[in-house]
């Protein structure tokens, strides 16, 4: 089960039921890290493809730089001089047209109320305006789902009853299913006020957070339909009916993401994966570290002992008196 995003009470009239929200859907994407590709001169590399290695006489690489060597299969070892160093990069804040770095602590919030005109809003001025997460989801109205334009739907959640609230939860769910109505509720979570549509399905209640009216962009142009002929409309209707069928969401997928994941999988199987070292930490081989520690310990225990009489104490006493 996915993580809980909110929990509290769903109230309608004088009745309330303890519930919690789970994310019912979430967009997926393939994430990349930014790497800086540093080209190496041909004179600094040697070796035969595909086992090229950096020359020991060349410059020592930083801890956050990993050498990588790539060439097409058709390229011979004499032409495989495309040596590359890859390292992770970080994002820095710099003023426009300046070279100096900015301390993130010096950043402030600015609202542009005119062309290149800003007003600064301090964090202390905003803190008392931020709404606190509420413990109650108040049902304010019941509407038909067909009356709600899907353009207002933002995110979807499962509403699951807590222990002791199963009976009231089932009562509300079955009542909405029989009447064909959905609930409109208000709730504050994650420091934001939300309008929520509650609708029943076969197994549980679903919650959909909604966009506000001013968050929906206006229609740019109005489509004129007066020039359409009846023959054109009948042909379009026939085409729609020919493609009509039950909706099966499993028939659709993100083709770009699937192709990208397949490409990455092929590279991993071909042992072309790159593992840049962290920016500030250096990977340590535990076995090597233990072996080095053992050798150091053995060398300490096997150090040669002093042979001969011990130094007399008199010279040491004299030296201490001289120091005094």
pLDDT in tens, 192-202: 899 999 999 88
**pLDDT grade for 210, boundaries at 50, 70 and 90:** very high
Short-list 209, 300, 274, CA closest to 33 = 274
pLDDT number for residue 39: 65
Q: List C-alpha distances in Å: 20 to 120, 168, 169, 199.
A: 38, 14, 11, 15
CB 298 within 8 A of CB 86: no
Q: What pLDDT does residue 229 have?
A: 83
pLDDT of residue 322: 46
pLDDT value at 240 more than 80:
yes
- The more confident residue out of 310 and 214 is 214
Determine the pLDDT at residue 58: 47
Confidence of residue 126 (pLDDT cuts 50, 70, 90): confident
**Cis ω on the peptide bond leading into residue 10 (within 30° of 0)?**
no
Given this model, what pLDDT does residue 199 score? Answer: 95
Instruction: Using a pLDDT cut of 70, give the percent of the chain over it.
Output: 65
Q: Averaged over 79-108, what is the pLDDT?
A: 72
Considering Cα of 160, then 166, then 172, then 174, what sign does the dihedral take? Answer: positive
Model pTM score: 0.61
Question: Residue 174 has what pLDDT?
Answer: 93
Go through the domains of the chain in sequence order and give each one's CATH number: 4-25+130-215 (2.40.290.10), 35-88 (no CATH)
CA distance 29 to 256: 10
| pLDDT value of position 296 | 72
pLDDT on residue 117: 85
Residue 172: closest CA among 159, 190, 163: 159
> What are the E-state strand segments in the chain?
4-12, 15-23, 35-39, 45-46, 53-54, 65-69, 83-88, 109-114, 117-121, 136-144, 153-161, 181-189, 192-200, 205-210
Stated length of the chain? 324
């Amino acid at each position: 089960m996915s993580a809980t995003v909110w929990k509290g009470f769903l109230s309608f009239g004088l009745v309330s039921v303890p519930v919690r929200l789970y994310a019912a859907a979430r967009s997926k994407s393939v994430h990349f890290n930014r790497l800086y590709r540093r080209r190496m001169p041909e004179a600094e590399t040697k070796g035969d493809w595909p086992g090229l290695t950096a020359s020991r006489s060349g410059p020592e690489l930083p801890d956050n730089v990993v050498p990588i060597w790539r060439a097409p299969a058709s390229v011979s070892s004499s032409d495989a001089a495309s040596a590359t160093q890859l390292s992770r990069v970080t994002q820095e804040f710099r003023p426009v047209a300046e070279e100096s770095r900015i301390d993130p602590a010096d950043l402030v919030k600015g609202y542009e109320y005119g062309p290149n005109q800003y007003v600064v809003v301090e964090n202390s001025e905003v803190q008392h305006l931020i709404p606190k997460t509420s413990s109650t989801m108040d049902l304010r109205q019941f509407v038909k789902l067909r009356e709600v334009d899907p353009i207002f739907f933002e995110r979807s959640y499962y509403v699951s009853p807590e222990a002791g609230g199963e009976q009231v939860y089932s009562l509300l769910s079955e009542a909405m299913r029989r009447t064909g109505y959905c609930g409109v509720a208000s709730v504050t979570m994650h420091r934001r006020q939300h309008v929520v549509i509650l609708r029943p399905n076969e197994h549980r209640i679903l919650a959909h957070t909604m966009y506000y009216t001013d968050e929906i962009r206006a229609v740019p142009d109005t489509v004129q339909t007066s020039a359409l002929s009846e023959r054109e409309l009948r042909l379009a209707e026939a085409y729609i009916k020919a493609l009509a069928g039950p909706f099966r969401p499993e028939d659709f997928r993100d083709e770009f993401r699937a192709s990208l994941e397949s490409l990455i999988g092929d590279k991993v199987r071909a042992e072309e994966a790159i593992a840049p070292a962290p920016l500030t930490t250096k990977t340590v081989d535990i076995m090597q570290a233990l072996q080095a520690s053992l050798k150091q310990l053995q060398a300490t225990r096997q150090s040669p002992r002093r042979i001969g009489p011990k130094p007399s104490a008199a010279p040491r006493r004299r030296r201490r008196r001289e120091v005094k």
